[in-house]
Amino acid sequence: MNTADLGLPVDVPSTALFTDQYELTMLQAALKAGTSERRSVFEVFTRRLPEGRRYGVVAGTGRVLDAVENFRFDADVINFLRERGIVDEPTLQWLSSYRFGGDIWGYPEGEVYFPGSPVLRVEGSFAECVLLETVILSILNHDSAIAAAASRMSSAAGERPLIEMGARRTHELAAVAASRAAYVGGFATTSDLAAGFRYDIPTVGTSAHAFTLLHDNERDAFQAQVDSLGPGTTLLVDTYDVTEAVRTAVEVAGPELGAVRIDSGDLLLVAHRVRKELDELGATKTKIVVTSDLDEYAIASLAAAPVDAYGVGTQLVTGSGHPTCSMVYKLVARAHSADPKAPLEPVAKKSLGAKSSLGGRKWAARRTDEHGVAEAEVVGTGPVPTALADRQLLVQLVKGGEVVAREPLDTVRDRHAAARAGLPLSATQLSRGEAVIPTEYI
């Protein structure tokens, strides 16, 4: 069953209007000038990592492929553009049959990236490629920011699982994308059922403070939850007095109580006290889950605490202070004419500031040392050196308009874990610093 059949706001019939108006006005002008069919190459990259970040995480690629497939100007969309006078009639006629027929190459989803890395390369006519700019950047900037925060958090958590629970802290559709990106970055589960339905991410959830407050006393609330969900449930123990709540929880559920959740207070101190009390009550296998506006720094500070899992919301879905990756989509090469055999010519923006770009269709490879640890991101426009031939990073995602590289989300998640493990150890340090490896241009 498709999600649209249930009326869930996680799929849309067309992604064509997830764009900026100037994409269409540029198209109109190019059609009139006769330059729209010139073969072109656009690349997605970022000039710098967010302050303090040592690496980026490519996330959202799978969603980009869906968006490209669904980029269609159906009758309703065409009528909207016509009524608003956005573009002229010849352009509307061209758009009505739009299908992306070019090629897309990119870093495989879950891979890490650095300043200048050609994360995505879109090739085709200028007309068909320029229309995709906004939706591609919208997806990659959001999802990669969330995945980078998730990666830092999962690194800080070590072997302890992380629960994504930020749906109530962001837009309802962004929440679904954030859950997916968090899973790529190393989170184990989500509380968002739409994300579970759309992407098959494992879901979890038990109760909130409201459930305890609904009942006449804490014991009645715990009893109701255990009667419904079984002793393996997770009981929230900080509504009133934590010590009394833990004792009551074990009395109600027995020593087989699954877990207790702490959502407030000095988590380090409270976790130690709760662990001691649980052990004294014989609930030695009962786990402790902590929540309460955690970020990677708070998670790292709890490394020595007897905590078994973390629930993260606000800081995750806002990129832990960096809600975008500042990726850009730039034309780097184009043909001099519409002749399909015309050679590509490098083009680049020149700027006195920090917004210049490097022209030419690029490849990328990651050079490693004798121990297999990454030591440089190498980006070039000419022949690939023999020593780097088997270290190239870009893979083909779309060929002749057809998606050729869709893959399971678990594969993406595993890829990220392997990519992060291949970086120098300093990559996972939370202290501020530059990119963990340099980008070299040849």
Taking only the tens place, the pLDDT of each residue in 91-119 is: 999 999 999 999 999 999 999 999 999 99
Residue 430: how many CA atoms within 13 Å on its side-chain side?
17
Model confidence band, residue 12 (pLDDT cutoffs 50, 70, 90): low
Task: Answer whether residue 432 is part of any domain.
Answer: yes
pLDDT at 308 exceeding the cut of 60: yes
User: Can you give the pLDDT at residue 356?
Assistant: 73
The pLDDT value given to residue 433: 86
Beta bridge partners of 287: 259
Q: Reduced to 3 states, what is the DSSP secondary structure of residue 138? A: helix
Residues 22 and 122 in one domain: yes
Q: Are 412 and 184 in contact (CB under 8 A)?
A: yes
Residue 116 lies in a domain: yes
> 212 lies in a domain?
yes
**What's the structural domain count of the chain?**
2
Q: Are residues 83 and 133 in the same domain?
A: yes
Average pLDDT over residues 71-79: 96
Q: Domain check: are 219 and 105 in the same one?
A: no
Task: Tell me, yes or no, whether 250 and 137 share the same domain.
Answer: no
For the cut 50, the answer to whether the pLDDT of residue 393 exceeds it is yes
Of 307, 332, 361, the position where a domain reaches its end is 307
- Integer distance in angstroms from the first to the last C-alpha of the chain? 49
**pTM recorded for the entire structure:** 0.94
Q: Could you give the percent of the chain with pLDDT greater than 70?
A: 96
pLDDT higher than 80, residue 70 = yes
pLDDT score recorded for residue 1? 41
Same domain, 219 and 267: yes
Residue 107 lies in a domain: yes
Under the banding of pLDDT at 50, 70 and 90, the label for residue 9 is very low
Q: What is the CATH number of the domain that holds 294?
A: 3.20.20.70
User: Does 264 map to a domain?
Assistant: yes
Given this model, what pLDDT does residue 4 score?
44
Mean pLDDT of 19-25: 98
DSSP structure class, residue 49: P
Domain boundary residue, one of 238, 272, 307: 307
For residues 335, 38, 325, 352, the Cα torsion angle rounded to the nearest 10 degrees is 50
CA distance 65 to 225: 42
For residue 352, is pLDDT > 80?
Answer: no
For residue 312, the surrounding DSSP H or E stretch is strand 309-312
Shared domain check, 334 and 261: no
Q: Which domain holds residue 247?
A: 206-307
pLDDT classification of 13: cutoffs 50, 70, 90: low
The yes-or-no verdict on residue 24 having pLDDT over 90 is yes
Measured CA to CA, the distance from residue 309 to residue 243 in angstroms comes to 20
Tell me the mean pLDDT in the region 211-239.
98
Same domain, 100 and 67: yes
Dist. CA 55–CA 420, nearest whole Å: 9
- 104 in the same domain as 41: yes
Q: Which residue, of 307, 334, 367, is where some domain finishes?
A: 307
pLDDT of the residue at 353: 66
172 belongs to a structural domain = no
Write down the pLDDT at residue 147: 98
Please check whether residues 77 and 26 belong to one and the same domain.
yes
286, 345: one domain: no
Compute the average pLDDT of residues 342-367. 89
The average pLDDT across 205-234 equals 98
**Do 64 and 156 contact (CB within 8 A), yes or no?**
no
Assign residue 30 the CATH number of its domain: 3.20.140.10
**Residues 104 and 217 reside in one and the same domain:** no
Helix (H) or strand (E) holding 244: helix 242-253
Q: Is the pLDDT of residue 6 over 70?
A: no
Q: Are residues 126 and 27 in the same domain?
A: yes
Average pLDDT over the chain, rounded to an integer: 95
Q: What is the mean pLDDT of residues 178-204?
A: 98
Q: Which pair of tokens denotes residue 134?
A: 């906004």
Any domain includes 6: no
Average pLDDT over residues 316-329: 97
pLDDT > 90? residue 262: yes
Residue 185 is assigned to a structural domain of this protein: no
